[in-house]
Amino acid sequence: MRAQEPTNQPATQLQIHSASSAMAHQLALLVLLLASPAAMHAAAGACASEKFPAERTYATCEDLPQLGAALHWTYDASKSSLSVAFVAAPAGTSGWVAWGLNPTGEGMAGTQALVALKGSSSAPNVKTYNITGYVPLGGASTPIAFPATDLAADEGSGGKIRLYGKLQLHKGMKSVNQVWQVGSSVTGGAPDKHAFGASNLASKAKLVLGSKATATSPASEPTPAPMAGGPSPTAGGAGSDSGASSSVAPSAGKNAATAAGVSAPALAVMALVGFLAIV
Ligand SMILES: *[C@@H]1O[C@H](CO)[C@@H](O)[C@H](O)[C@H]1NC(C)=O
């Protein structure tokens, strides 16, 4: 009995080791299997399932962080030309959707907007507006800083409006603020005021022309301080869109989207590394 003890112990340890190794192996495989579809979904994004008419193709699509909107775009750097398709559901069946670039600020004021108005007409009508602030817009387009061509709109699935256009940007533009919005009604060919919910006020983000990957820079990491003591991202009340109080919202929204977009593939990579380490 006594003589067996020394030989027994290593054998037991080996069994325990191999059992736990097999368990870790299975666990890693499970994590990998669970993470993969999620990672693929996050990488492709919901916008990737949009089916446009055959002649409309875009190099990039991006699910925007608010209002269920998406932007599809192709940037031709040699011509500084940006082709876009903006997709969003209006806030009402005879409402409007808008998207634009703001070269001078973050909020609505200064936005060079493309607006697709459904109104009572069957097909959405596209107009351009140089948005100067919270002043009612007229029924006629106003000139915008980026000459717009190929303006058109059609209806997508689920009552969404798809707004198409091509903007002549300024030479050398690399990153620009984008702003989008949805409204519920149209009067006299003009978009009526939109709602002032948290997502209406936070519907802005950076559009990085060039590679999409550069949008997730370490500089955009959320800092814990504003959460603890500063204004919360949802604290901006009605009418504070252009004020300092709402300047927290866009970065917070972008960070949330960035985190959501990055975490699933990162998880898959981690699982894969773990899996390889065990094998
Ligand atoms: C847009 O409006 C602003 C403010 O009135 C004005 O300074 C700017 O020149 C306008 N832009 C265009 C392209 O008309």
pLDDT value for 17: 52
Whether the CB-CB separation of 117 and 191 falls below 8 Å is answered with: yes
Q: How far, in Å, from the CA of 214 to the mean position of ligand 1?
A: 31
Q: What is the pLDDT of residues 22-69, one digit of tens each?
A: 555 554 544 444 444 444 444 456 899 999 999 999 999 999 999 999
Residue 210 lies in a domain: yes
Question: Per-residue DSSP letters for 83-111?
Answer: EEEEEE--SSTT-EEEEEEESS-SSSTT-
Residue whose CA is closest, atom 3 of ligand 1?
132
Residue range 84-89: mean pLDDT, rounded: 98
Residue range 154-173: mean pLDDT, rounded: 95
Residue whose CA is closest, atom 5 of ligand 1?
132
Q: How far apart are CA 278 and CA 31, in angstroms?
A: 13
User: Which domain range does residue 167 map to?
Assistant: 46-258
257 pLDDT tier (thresholds 50, 70, 90): very low
pLDDT value for 10: 47
Higher-pLDDT residue of 39, 136: 136
Atom of ligand 1 nearest to the CA of 144: 13
- For residue 263, give the amino acid letter: S
Residue 192 vs residues 97, 126, 195, 213, 216: alpha-carbon distances, Å: 11, 15, 10, 36, 35
Residue 35 lies in a domain: no
Residue 158 lies in a domain: yes
Write down the pTM of the prediction: 0.64
Residue 248 neighbours by CB distance under 10 Å = 19
Q: How far, in Å, from the CA of 142 to the mean position of ligand 1?
A: 9
Give the count of domains, the chain. Answer: 1
Whether the CB-CB separation of 82 and 147 falls below 8 Å is answered with: no
Q: How far, in Å, from the CA of 130 to the mean position of ligand 1?
A: 6
- Residues whose CB falls within 8 Å of the CB of residue 161, separated by 6 or more in sequence, listed in order: 87, 88, 89, 90, 96, 97, 116, 118, 124, 153, 154, 155
Radius of gyration of the chain (CA): 25
pLDDT over threshold 90, residue 189: yes
242 pLDDT tier (thresholds 50, 70, 90): very low
Whether the CB-CB separation of 122 and 134 falls below 8 Å is answered with: no
Top mutation candidate among 112, 132, 137, 169 for ligand 1, by most atoms within 8 Å of CB: 132
Whether the CB-CB separation of 84 and 71 falls below 8 Å is answered with: yes
Residue 224 lies in a domain: yes
Residue 120 lies in a domain: yes
> Which residue ranges have their beta carbon within 6 Å of ligand 1?
130, 132, 143-145
pLDDT over threshold 80, residue 94: yes
> For residue 158, what is the domain's CATH number?
2.60.40
Atom of ligand 1 nearest to the CA of 145: 13
Average pLDDT, the chain: 74
Residue 31 lies in a domain: no
pLDDT value for 123: 85
Q: How far, in Å, from the CA of 252 to the mean position of ligand 1?
A: 29
